[in-house]
Chains A and B, each alone.
Chain A
């Protein structure tokens, strides 16, 4: 029995060697995601999406194969840099993918920039990484912080909102998102009547901030909160009964498909903007949601879509380049396809994604939250902002 297995393995190995001469290539993808720590939930969404993307788009690679090497970044920049180095220098991966935290991305940026191994960013939205700190090796398929919020200022002013109060956690993403909104909102004639930036760590009680915002009597409150903070904030905003006088708006992470069901009734009436909403009515999105829901029994979130599109992007670049390293990188920077979120392309000037931003409304009906798209702002593209490749 044992010898027969051994013999089988030997035959298979010799066949594989013969196949090797016929140009089959093994592509190694280094997956850098948080599988533990505060972002572990998001890491799981992105990985699930990425695997589904490989299933859908990587099936027709012929004799070429794609293998994954995983590494847990948590939210720790220094440890993540060490793990990135190991992937590039020791595992010799062909491409890196992932990165949820902008701090982690910031920590590995210089190494990736100098390494020659491309990185496809599937979440971290820091503007600088496709602005003044951009790199030919770093391609972002998710979003930039300002990209999501920039279109909302003008849109909200057009809805008759004249004054707004801003609220976001006190860190880079919070400030970048609010600044982008503020710029277009004031340009469209709106006035900011107040802003508050509660500490990112440890703020659990938004009551005092909500009370202060209410007293400023704005037409609308515009916010960015994500994850656990978004759940807490939306619930407390609801409990303080402010919504009937002052509607709640925000960057769409506020009521993400990943947790809007936990917010439930509290999310009712909230209007938000994001690059992906599960309600998008296209064949690509239907294919994605059907497969994702069948596999994971939950709705595919924008995080899962980022992983899915990252896989699509990598497979497309492999097909176009046929194994050549520089051609592969060039193909990443020039990619263009239809994903679940609609048409997207990579802007070669910044390596950031160009995509639609959707404004959507949450309504609580029959015990669950229904998200409907109110408006689509097509082809939102970031200015180079100091980026020169």
Chain B
């Protein structure tokens, strides 16, 4: 197995595909974390909601394209409601209360998902773009997984341009770096924060709806992906796009190769990596704040 070059090649593609999903999830979380020191544990639930909304929209329209567009918007709306009702009030409540409230939110959102969509695995069977396979260097690979990789790369590029070349990006960077000085200089940190929260929610929703045709949707799917996502945030370093990208690649690769090469230690491997990174670089690989 280990001497087979096809195995390594396809497995690298598998790692990239998982990494891109983790990236879409962690990038919103890490910027929210970095910008306002707020841990939103319910971020994974937004991923599940993206998949479930996507499923319903695909069922209603008979195709996925509208779902890719509308599901992230629906999740963004849920994010806005959560923000106005709960998260805004918890801003200054301290980390312990924030963790408890958003932890409770996981279960509330989980039961809402179960109530609305049931507990079955839901999958779409028709109208999926890129549903075939293609051959690359003599290996067959599902086209849809390459599509997931592309979506991740495109979002990375778009966010890079947004952060480096727009006023909003400059405000976000200023807010992460030093919120007090930024607000003294006339940056509306509150508004910036709200916008970042909405973008983060929409990206989590996008991850869900993009994953759904390949891996099906299920109430509770956000719970199992939450832990790797949090590890990515910590390993990558708080608040940075580069950190989220590098952390996702590292964790995605570790999980993918770990589960087939040393299956009994696969999940432990991720935590070992977390410990190693924290020992060598306590604030993560590329923290936004020096």
Contact = CB atoms under 8 A, between A and B. Distances in A.
B123 interface: yes
Nearest to A39: B119
Nearest to B255: A208
B133 A208 contact: no
B82 interface: no
A109 interface: no
A202 B224 contact: yes
B221 interface: yes
Contacts of A242: 140
Contacts of A264: 125
Nearest to A228: B121
25 contacts: A36-B119, A38-B120, A40-B120, A196-B263, A204-B218, A205-B18, A205-B214, A205-B215, A208-B256, A214-B7, A214-B10, A215-B4, A228-B121, A228-B123, A228-B218, A231-B121, A236-B142, A236-B214, A239-B144, A239-B145, A240-B141, A241-B133, A241-B140, A241-B141, A262-B123
Contact of B10 (A40, A196, A202, A211): A211
Contacts of B60: none
A194 B214 CA distance: 26
B120 A212 contact: no
B192 interface: no
A38 B17 CA distance: 28
Given A204-B216, A228-B218, A198 B259 contact: yes
Nearest to B224: A202
Contacts of B7: 211-212, 214-215
Interface of A: 36-38, 40-41, 194, 196-198, 201-202, 204-205, 207-209, 211-212, 214-217, 227-229, 231-232, 235-236, 239-242, 262, 264
B contacts with A: majority SS: helix
B260 interface: yes
Given A208-B11, A212-B7, 10 more contacts: A40-B118, A40-B120, A198-B259, A202-B224, A205-B214, A212-B1, A212-B260, A214-B7, A214-B10, A217-B4
Nearest to B141: A240
A232 B215 contact: yes
Contacts of A214: 6-7, 10
B7 to A, nearest CB: 4
A235 B125 CA distance: 10
Given A214-B7, A240-B140, A241-B140, A208 B120 contact: no
Contacts of B141: 240-241
A57 B241 CA distance: 68
A41 B120 CA distance: 8
B260 A208 contact: yes
